[in-house]
């Protein structure tokens, strides 16, 4: 609403209605053998149960809840698979915000490892029990095995040449899984002028026009708001310059706070067009085959696949990427030990235990 706060009771009541709508989509799923999109299922539910429809401002609040769901998948509701959208295995402990970012974890995991930055891979060749990885400047690295964890968007774009070519079933698996896009526009102000809440939402007649700000001041103490944009809207924002993007975001903020001051700093992400990612993280497309994760994760000889996109239960998440990477590393370890002869002669250590041997202090906010 332009400068007016939505009544809290309405937000709560519409939230309960949205929860009921999503529960009813489960019945729609059970009735259809073919997959539908989440948006199609919601439409069917509202046709069956017109009392769940919302009008006026309540409808706009409902669209905001849909916007939040789309942000979770970084994709629009008409692209998200009804069959599997709610099948993620949610870990215990609740959600938290890494106050210091992921830098402490990355530094701990990278300890004593030879990491080469600015080496964009262009070709991967395998044969004769070896793998050769070639980078942009023509330099090649040869190893007994390799683990590939590049983002799914890079594989879809075929930025990396494979020799021999990837088999058709692997290419199909790459194609069958979706890649979402969620961008963040971080705004730092000289002082706080907003309430001490977790989110600041902007409602609108459709989910595309809705939006929300994450209040980092609540978690970090810094006067920072982060605007979140997902799906087609995220791609549309990437067509604008950084300055125009910030102008748009500020126009959204000023709908709530007409006297909002201008930011003193800003940061705009462009994951959808970033040549090192071409998207944020994976999601289940409508009609996605059930075995897509198994095919995507399956090794090709001494070439293994990791990353969040191959995680069956936790795709699209950091812990999914971590667990998939550990799994790929352990499978790679088994292969190499078998090459050495009797695997019983070489104790198979737990890579996960080795990684977790040293504790890393983390500052996590529950907002």
Task: Quick: pLDDT tens for 151-206.
Answer: 999 999 999 999 999 999 999 999 999 999 999 999 999 999 999 999 999 999 99
The structure's pTM equals 0.89
Residue 244's CB is within 10 A of a number of other CB atoms, namely 12
Closest CA to 143 of 9, 343, 304: 304
User: Which domains are present in the chain?
Assistant: 8-73 (no CATH), 103-179+278-365 (3.50.50.60)
Can the peptide bond before residue 57 be classed as cis, meaning omega within 30 degrees of 0? Answer: no
Please report, rounded to a whole number, the percentage of residues in the chain having pLDDT higher than 70: 91
**Percent of the chain whose predicted confidence (pLDDT) is above 90:** 77
Residue 149: exposure state from Cβ atoms within 10 A (0-12, 13-18, ≥19): middle
Task: Give the least confident one: 68-77, 138-147, 338-347.
Answer: 338-347
Angle of helix 38-48 relative to helix 8-31, nearest 10 degrees, comes to: 100
Which pLDDT tens digit goes with each residue over 100-110?
A: 888 888 888 88
Encode 329-366: b = buried (16+ Cβ within 10 Å), e = exposed: bbbbbebebeeeeeeeeeeeeebeeeeeeeeeeeeeee
Report the C-alpha gap between 67 and 209 in whole angstroms: 9
Give the mean pLDDT of 242-270: 96
Distance, in Å, from the CA atom of 307 to the CA atom of 79, rounded to the nearest integer, reads: 22
pLDDT at 19 over 90: yes
The set of residues, in sequence order, having a beta carbon less than 8 Å from that of 164 and lying 6+ positions away, is 126, 127
pLDDT range class, residue 254, cuts 50, 70, 90 = very high
- Position 343 scores a pLDDT of 55
pLDDT for residue 89 is more than 70: no
Phi, psi for 157 (deg, rounded to 5): -80, -5
- Checking if the pLDDT of 349 tops 60, the result is no
Given pLDDT bands bounded at 50, 70 and 90, which one contains residue 358?
low
Q: Per-residue pLDDT averaged across 266-276, rounded?
A: 97
Mean pLDDT to the nearest integer, 239-248: 97
- Per-residue model confidence (pLDDT) at position 52: 97
Tens-digit pLDDT profile for residues 130-150: 999 999 999 999 999 999 999
């Amino acid at each position: 609403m332009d400068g007016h706060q939505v009544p809290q009771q309405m937000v709560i009541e519409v939230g309960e209605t949205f929860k009921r709508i999503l529960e009813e989509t489960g019945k729609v799923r059970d009735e259809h053998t073919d997959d539908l999109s989440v948006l199609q299922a919601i439409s069917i539910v509202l046709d069956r149960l017109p009392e769940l429809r919302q009008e006026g401002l309540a409808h706009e609040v409902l669209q905001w809840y849909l916007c939040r769901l789309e942000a979770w998948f970084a994709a629009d509701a008409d692209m998200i698979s009804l069959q599997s959208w709610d099948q993620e295995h949610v870990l215990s402990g609740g959600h938290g915000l890494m106050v210091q970012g992921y830098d402490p974890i990355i530094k701990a995991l990278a300890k004593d490892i030879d990491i080469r930055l600015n080496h964009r891979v262009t070709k991967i060749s395998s044969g004769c029990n070896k793998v050769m990885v070639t980078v942009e400047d023509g330099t090649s690295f040869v190893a007994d095995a390799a683990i590939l964890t590049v983002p799914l968007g890079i594989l879809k774009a075929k930025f990396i040449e494979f020799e021999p070519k990837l088999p058709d079933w692997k290419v199909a698996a790459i194609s069958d899984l979706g890649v979402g896009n969620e961008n963040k526009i971080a705004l730092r102000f000289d002082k706080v002028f907003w309430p001490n809440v977790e989110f600041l939402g902007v409602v609108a007649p459709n989910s595309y026009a809705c939006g929300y700000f994450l209040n980092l001041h609540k978690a970090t103490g810094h006067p920072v708001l982060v605007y979140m944009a997902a799906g087609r809207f995220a791609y549309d924002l990437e067509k604008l310059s950084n300055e125009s993007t910030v102008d748009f975001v500020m126009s959204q903020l000023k709908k709530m706070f007409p006297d909002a001051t201008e930011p003193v700093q800003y940061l705009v992400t462009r994951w959808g067009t970033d040549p090192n990612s071409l998207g944020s993280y994976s999601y289940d497309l409508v009609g996605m085959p059930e075995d897509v994760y198994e095919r995507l994760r399956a090794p090709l000889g001494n070439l293994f696949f990791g990353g969040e996109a191959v995680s069956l239960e936790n795709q699209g998440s950091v812990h999914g990427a971590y667990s998939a990477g550990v799994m790929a590393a352990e499978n790679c370890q088994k292969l190499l030990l078998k090459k050495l002869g009797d695997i019983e002669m070489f104790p198979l250590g737990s890579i996960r235990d080795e990684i977790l041997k040293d504790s890393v202090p983390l500052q996590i906010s529950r907002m």
